[in-house]
């Protein structure tokens, strides 16, 4: 699915380095999510603001759609805060030992190290914007993304003082 020639009510702008940048998510091809740990089901994500699209050094912003049944396992970020803003549909957002219905206009905030998750158990797509903010976080993999299982595995490796095969 490629969206590099969107029908916009304006021309596509190109900005020299160091100047304001205007990006429409329809100009960005969807990410290849592959086997990203913790993501399950049909989903679509575009990286709108990041080092690759705008040169950002401290913010990553994306748009995602979780189709019915899709979910993101409990996880946290070692180096970034995360904000999620619901655009359309509805889903279930969780943090700590609670879950909440998330609907258009709702915002979920997760601080550094705070375990959170999102799922769509409903029959309509859930569309949202998400933002990572942190020092030197210009791409999603720089947020210190970690599922609890990955963190436990890393702790075991550190305790054994060995590099895995």
Residue 1 is predicted with a pLDDT of: 40
Domains of the chain: 35-160 (2.60.120.10)
- Per DSSP, the residues of the chain read ---SS---SSPPP---TTS-----GGGSPPP--TT-TTEESSEEEEEEESHHHH--SSEEEEEEEE-TT-EEEEEEESS-EEEEEEEES-EEEEETTEEEEE-TT-EEEE-TT--EEEE--SSS-EEEEEEEE-TT--SGGGS-EE-HHHHHHHHHHHHHT----
State pLDDT tens for residues 46-100.
988 888 888 888 999 999 999 999 999 999 888 899 999 999 999 999 998 899 9
Question: Does the structure show a pLDDT above 50 at 152?
Answer: yes
Question: Does the structure show a pLDDT above 70 at 3?
Answer: no
Q: Are strands 98-102 and 39-40 parallel, antiparallel or unpaired?
A: unpaired
Q: How far apart are CA 117 and CA 93, in angstroms?
A: 6
Question: Does the structure show a pLDDT above 60 at 13?
Answer: no
Residue 2 is predicted with a pLDDT of: 45
Structure tokens belonging to residue 28: 């960005």
């Amino acid at each position: 699915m490629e969206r590099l020639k969107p029908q916009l009510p304006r021309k596509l702008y190109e900005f020299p380095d160091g100047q304001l940048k205007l990006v429409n998510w329809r100009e960005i091809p969807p990410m290849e999510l592959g086997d990203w740990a913790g993501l399950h089901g049909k989903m679509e994500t575009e990286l709108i603001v990041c080092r690759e699209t705008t040169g950002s050094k401290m913010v990553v912003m994306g748009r995602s759609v979780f189709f019915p049944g899709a979910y993101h396992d409990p996880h946290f970020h070692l180096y970034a805060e995360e904000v999620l803003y619901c655009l359309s549909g509805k889903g279930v957002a969780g943090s700590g030992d609670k879950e909440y219905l998330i609907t258009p206009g709702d915002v979920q905030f997760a601080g550094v190290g705070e375990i959170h998750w999102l799922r769509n158990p409903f029959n309509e797509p859930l569309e949202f914007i998400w933002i990572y903010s942190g020092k030197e976080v210009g791409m999603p993999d720089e947020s210190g993304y970690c599922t609890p299982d990955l963190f436990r595995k890393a702790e075991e490796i550190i305790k054994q003082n060995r590099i895995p095969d």
